[in-house]
Amino acid sequence: MTTQSTPSETPKGAWKITFLLFLFMLVNFADKIVVGLGGAPIMDELKLQPEQFGLLGSSFFFLFSISAIVVGFIVNRVATRWVLLAMALIWSLAQFPMVGTVSFTTLLICRIILGAGEGPAFSVAAHAIYKWFPDEKRTLPTAILSQGSAFGVILAVPALNWIIVNHSWHYAFGALGVVGLMWTLAWLVMGKEGPLVQTAAMAAADPAIPYGRLLTSRTFLGCCAATFGAYWALSLGLTWFTPFIVKGLGFSQQDAGWISVLPWVFGATIVLLTGWISQVMMARGYTTRGARGVLGSAPLIVGGLILAVLPHVAPGALMIALLVVGSGLCGSIYVVCPPMLGEFTPVQQRGAVIAIYGAIYTLAGMIAPSVMGSVIQHAATPLDGYMTGFTINAVVLVASGLLGLLLLWPNTERARLAAGEETAQAKFA
């Protein structure tokens, strides 16, 4: 029988698993960035128009949300250890077809398969980590998990760009396939299921809540709305940041590779600061409304306002700086939303709820790259198109941040759900 830890304890081995899942997310985002990083040579070799390249960026998300929901329900019943292993294997194998001569159609199909494998990644990894940390200690490990995305880009961009510049973009995909297989082997040997699982007694004390009520709670809707805006910015960064540097501002592919690291370095700093500040605020008695909800939402509004300035400055260093800061501030919301959902969701339903949340906000990834490609193709100049696209992003960010401030009240959500359940039962009594 599994030994249950008290709420204040962190089980032995928790930080080792956190590090392995940090690497899991690192590989995940390195896989995502490679198309954007190689965007200019891919468009040149395959003779793609901006709308086609935008479609390629969006294709990654075609099955992303569906997969996230399906796997979210699976991890309510199947150990996350094996689900994570299967996902990483799919990622790795989906990269290898690009090593040889490849058509646009083949590249498109492989990106769709890769997206299906990676769709549940963050939600399943977060669910796995929550089996190792009690609620009051989850914000920092969630921040570290989120850092895998930033470091996946920070570490991968120089290496992958070197391969692209000195060999070809084809081999960059192959390198990611090899790295994915290496993580799969490491997880097979060292990965474990966390001990903080729900027992029958705990389930009786923490009964299930109808999914209809969970998914229409205002904090769930607020998390989806706020993170949708952040993911709009992130998916543009993954697909269009490097092509913007090369084709919009005229930098070389080699220089653009180093510049492309900057948003992720800044974003990594923001995410770690958010995780640390959130836990300090909670330790000092702040409610999770302030320490998670407001802390995550306000930077979205500030970031959107910064991006709105882009069309009004001269192309060059200042434009890049505004884009880096405006986009990077969005990272705060990823740190705070999963713990907020975990506050009021029964443990036996948490995997599915976090996965559905991920499936909804990542719909932005299906829309944003295509919108940018369309406005670039129909603009008077590519730079005008980029400015229009970033202005749209600014509006989305401000709106999502305002919705977050309005809707995120995790500290009282469980009581509201319980009251609503009692009222519903009274009607049928």
Q: How far is CA 297 from CA 11, 314, 327, in A?
A: 31, 29, 14
Structure tokens at 34: 């490679």
In this structure, how many other beta carbons lie within 10 angstroms of the beta carbon of residue 16?
13
> What pLDDT, in 10s, does the model give residues 161-210?
899 888 888 999 999 999 999 999 999 999 888 777 655 445 556 678 89
pLDDT at 338: 87
Upper half-sphere CA count for residue 89 (Cβ side, 13 Å)? 9
pLDDT at position 306 is 97
Answer left, alpha or beta for residue 199, where phi above 0 means left and psi between -120 and 50 means alpha: beta
How far is residue 311 from each of residues 107, 188, 238, 367, measured CA to CA in Å? 33, 49, 21, 22
Q: What is the amino acid identity at position 421?
A: E
pLDDT score, position 61: 84
Give which of 364, 362, 343, 342 is closest to 354, Cα–Cα.
Answer: 342
Q: Does residue 404 or residue 38 have the better pLDDT? A: 404
Cβ pair 198, 347 in contact under 8 A: yes
Question: Which DSSP state fits 2?
Answer: P
More confident residue, 10 or 395: 395
Residue recorded with tokens 């070809």: 168
What's the number of CA atoms in the CB half-sphere (13 Å) around residue 289? 10
Predicted TM-score (pTM) of the model is 0.78
Longest Cα pair distance anywhere in the chain, in angstroms?
73
Read off the pLDDT of residues 34-93 as tens digits, 9 standing for 90 and up.
Answer: 888 888 889 889 998 988 988 888 888 888 888 888 887 888 788 888 999 999 999 899
Report the C-alpha gap between 121 and 83 in whole angstroms.
Answer: 10
Q: How far is CA 275 from the centre of its chain?
A: 15
Contact 328, 266 (CB under 8 A): yes
Look up the CATH superfamily of 14-422. Answer: MFS general substrate transporter like domains (1.20.1250.20)
| Burial class of 67 by CB neighbour count within 10 A (0 to 12, 13 to 18, 19+) | buried
HSE on the CB side for 249, CA within 13 Å? 23
Confidence band, pLDDT 50/70/90 cuts, at residue 1: very low
The token pair that represents 389 in the structure block: 């696209």
